[in-house]
Amino acid sequence: MLTKAAIQRLRSLREKKHRTELGLFVVEGEKVVGELIAAKFAFTEIYATPAWTGPRTAAVTEEEMARASHFPTPSSVLAVGKINPTPLPAGGLARGLTLALDGVQDPGNVGTLLRIADWFALDRVVLSPDCADLFSQKVINASMGSFARVTVHTADLAAALAGLPATTPVLGCDLEGRDVHTLPALRDAVIVIGSEGRGLSPAVKAKLTDSVTIPRYGGAESLNAGIAAAIVCDNLRRAQA
């Protein structure tokens, strides 16, 4: 049985300030919980009604789930995980391929970018502090399980890029950049994606070694952040082949 205090705690986790205070986050829904379990994510609590056929730590009634749920239509399962921040190691961006997000505030875009990093087997993703919260339900849903497979750090991007050796390319996606199809094979590189509205921040833009763009043949003003990142990552991986 879920107590009133337990229900209040679960409902409070919809807000970032409470997730930060408690060091916990919540995900709800058969699909997303199933994806994270399949990806070997270790939940600390799994509350489920009899309709859920997967693992659980506590059985609850449909009425209790409705009171704890973050959704207008409750699902059969709600799971809680610990927030374990992964510090960015010194010189951590110098080797391998990194996807860096500079102020990407749409949760769906952040989740999609995690999926792209997973698809192309990038070594890590770095979020600036003003990105959408990694532990929000919308980000985790959009990641389709990649949340549990990708190494993600949150860090001051300008400072992290400033510490890189001159031999590590830092590529910013920009309409004024050079054709992405001309990229050479790069085993080490940082790919920087700017915010949906303002693009790259001045502090981060100053740390780029090069800017790349995807050639435009039609009249569209711009590309979605996820589409742009996928095209750049694809070109990097193809160049390595």
pLDDT in single tens digits along all 241 residues of the chain: 789 999 999 999 999 999 999 999 999 999 999 999 999 999 999 999 999 999 999 999 999 999 999 888 999 999 999 999 888 887 789 999 999 999 999 999 999 999 999 999 999 999 999 999 999 999 999 999 999 999 999 999 999 999 899 899 999 988 888 999 998 889 999 999 998 788 899 999 999 999 999 999 999 988 889 999 999 999 998 877 6
**Is 176 within 8 Å of 137 (Cβ atoms)?**
no
Stated pTM of the model: 0.93
Phi first, then psi, for residue 10 (nearest 5°) are -65, -40
**Residue 53's pLDDT is what?**
95
pLDDT at position 198: 84
- Domains and their CATH numbers in the chain: 4-82 (3.30.1330.30), 97-240 (3.40.1280.10)
**In the chain, beta strands by DSSP E:** 24-28, 45-48, 58-59, 77-82, 97-102, 124-127, 152-154, 170-179, 189-194, 210-213
Supply the pLDDT for residue 241. Answer: 64
Indicate the DSSP class of residue 195. Answer: B
- List the structure tokens of 237: 């991986």
Whole-number pLDDT of residue 98: 97
- Beta-bridged to residue 64, according to DSSP, are none
Name the DSSP letter for residue 185.
P
Distance CA 199, CA 194 (A): 4
The residue among 121, 119, 125, 118 whose CA lies nearest residue 98 is 125
Nearest Cα to 235, choosing from 177, 196, 194? 177
Q: What is the pLDDT of residue 92?
A: 81
* CA separation, residue 116 to residues 20, 145, 209, 226 (Å): 26, 12, 23, 7
Nearest-10 Cα torsion for 160, 165, 171, 172: 40
Task: Compute the chain's Rg from CA coordinates.
Answer: 20
